[in-house]
Amino acid sequence: MQHIRYTNFMNDLNEWWRGACIYQIYPRSFKDTNNTGIGDLKGVTEKLDYIASLGVDGIWITPFFTSPMKDFGYDVENFRDVDPMFGSIEDFHELLDNAHEKNLKVIIDLVFSHTSDQHPWFKEKPEYYVWADGCHVGNGVYGPPNNWVSLFGGSAWEWDEHRRKYYLHNFLKEQPDLNFHNPDVQKEVLDIVKFWLEFGVDGFRLDVVNFYFHDKLLRNNPPRDPELGAATQFEGEDPYSMQEHIYDKSQPENLDFIKKLRALMDQYDDRFTVGEIGDDHPFDRAAEYTEGHDYLNTCYNMHLLGGQKKHLTSDMIREPVETFSELKKGSWPSWAFSNHDVVRAASRWHWEGDGFSHEPKLSKMLIALLGCLRGTLFMYQGEELGLPEAKLKYEELKDPWGIHLWPEWQGRDGCRTPMPWLSAPNEESKGAWLPTPAQHYELSVETQDLDDNSILNFTRKFMSWRKTQKPLIKGNIKFINTGNGNILRFTRSYDGEPEIEALFNLSGEYQKFEELEPELEPYYFKITGFNL
């Protein structure tokens, strides 16, 4: 099998990722080719021409490994094989080769913080996991060893009757945490990384990369400082947001392991790592994990993904971008507006009535805004269609987090509904694992393909133009004060190239701007050199 290696013409050798736009695929909702109700790897291969037409540089595929699917693939049973619901390892070979032929890089999602409790290690190598005796709470009663809580609710500790000990799980109880203090665990993880590097993938998205290590002394987390805000995207009453997460993640030993990982990556050409950071001080962690040449290439930043209902303002964009750039001058950021874990931006930043309305002007503006930011960019499937969040009934929910938090929040299923390829339901969609809203059929690929003014065709035009603009790919960014919180203005410049200025009205209302007449229309934007 031959894997085609190439360098993106707009980037330096070994840094194809710098300024690239990567299209995120949630495979179970992307394209179903065998009418099982679940998307598969053959579906991704089938749609590679579509993906390439978007003007992106690569794809990130969320986990497709063997799994009992308690957390839809983020509970891995076998890191070296494909779950049969997605196809076979041969199907992934085919996908990888076809993607490379179309000059698309392929990033896969590796989950090393934890495994499934069905992974053979959990039974055969218990020393690979975090175990602790219970804590005496009085009158002969014992409880969990400390106050750590699971992000999905309840204690982060589960009693194991067979071993008569508690094991740690930062997520579901079916996702026991690996003990990275054990050198054998680190070796196993690096062997898995090497397996996929030899296979030919172009890089890795590392799930919750700062969760690998825990405090050896198992000290209690202190109460949370209200100034830190919520610890998750759910902004209601949430036990996880009641603690300051000092001891259950982001331990200093983690950086030593990241160095080992980077040393392995550097033995291969043109490979890439992006880490997902979930931390009380995410800017600091992201900068720390990407400083210099010993750690990760970039970190997947959550600042433009959080929250559920808010209107977009200039400070929501400017503050994260400026803060990150000021922390570590050599660190390279990544930005996304939507993904498989958060309310879609088309709804999150246009919350009217029930919050599931659709505004094409906003969706086009968001594509342009994302494309003008300094960093590596991630576009989530359906974002190029302007899909709003899907509204689901309780009985339709599959996400354990959403089921736990209902009715305050429906969880992550609203952004995971199937990609609407056709303008009307068919046999494939009738048996899908999640329902497709009628509103999404109106925004289907089939419908938008035929409309020159659609969000889809705008995305193709803008992202293809962006590839030719060095200031947008690698240049600096400088924000300009506008005196209006609804108007964002900045310039991008690079090495003597003509400067690009970007101006955005982020609101759904007309805005007066002193230098322009008449008022800026809702969701107006203007970018030097780009002809709308």
Q: Does domain 21-116+182-471 have CATH number 1.10.1060.10?
A: no
pLDDT of residue 350: 82
pLDDT of residue 205: 98
Mean pLDDT, each 10-residue run in order, the chain (532 residues):
36 78 98 96 98 98 98 97 98 98 98 98 98 88 93 94 96 98 98 98 98 98 90 73 96 98 97 95 90 92 76 93 82 94 91 72 97 97 97 94 88 96 85 94 97 98 97 96 95 96 95 78 96 81
Task: Note the pTM of the prediction, 2 decimals.
Answer: 0.94
Nearest-angstrom CA–CA distance, 3 and 145: 49
> What pLDDT, in 10s, does the model give residues 198-246?
999 999 999 999 999 999 999 999 999 988 888 776 666 688 999 999 9
DSSP assignment of 194-249 equals HHHHHHT--EEEETTGGGS---TT-PPPPBPPGGG--SSS--SS-GGGGB--SSSS
Nearest-angstrom CA–CA distance, 152 and 209: 18
pLDDT of residue 16: 96
- Domains of the chain, by residue range, sit at 21-116+182-471, 120-168, 475-527
Helix or strand holding residue 411 (H, E):
none
Q: Give the 3-state secondary structure of residue 421.
A: coil
Nearest-angstrom CA–CA distance, 147 and 143: 10
Which tokens sit at 271?
Answer: 């490979």
Domain spanning 120-168, CATH architecture: Alpha-Beta Complex (3.90)
Nearest-angstrom CA–CA distance, 75 and 84: 15
Nearest-angstrom CA–CA distance, 279 and 244: 9
Nearest-angstrom CA–CA distance, 2 and 9: 21
Which tokens sit at 383?
Answer: 């974002």
Q: Does domain 475-527 have CATH number 2.40.50.140?
A: no
Burial class (CB in 10 A: 0-12, 13-18, 19+), 20: buried
Could you identify the residue written with the tokens 């986990």? 63
Residue type, 521: E
Q: Give the 3-state secondary structure of residue 503.
A: strand
